[in-house]
Amino acid sequence: MTVVTDATGPSPSKRDSATRERNLTRVQARIASQQARAEFAETLNALEDKLNVPKQVGRRAARAKVKLRRFADEQPAVAFAAAVGLVAAVGATVWLVVRANLD
């Protein structure tokens, strides 16, 4: 006679099976709640970044500085001419405003 043995061991009872399934469901629920919390925190952080105006202004100013420096490094003559033009425009505007207020 040949004895056939089950490699997995004895079959679990219905009670053990139900307990194992319930525990598995609890673990899945815990994992799902942790994922939901992480997604919620990520959403709140994204909203905070979008609605924080000083932070956005700071980021855009930093980007503008980087672009201006890159432009000045690549085309120094054009950057110098643009700076002189900007200074002249601001100076003329100030002169016109002061002159209009003195008259």
Instruction: Note the pLDDT tens digit of each residue in 53-62.
Output: 999 999 999 9
Q: Which of 39, 59, 40 is nearest to 49 (CA)?
A: 59
Percent pLDDT > 90 in the chain is: 63
Quickly state the pLDDT bin for 91 (edges 50, 70, 90): very high
Between CA 91 and CA 19 the distance in angstroms is: 82
Quickly state the pLDDT bin for 12 (edges 50, 70, 90): low
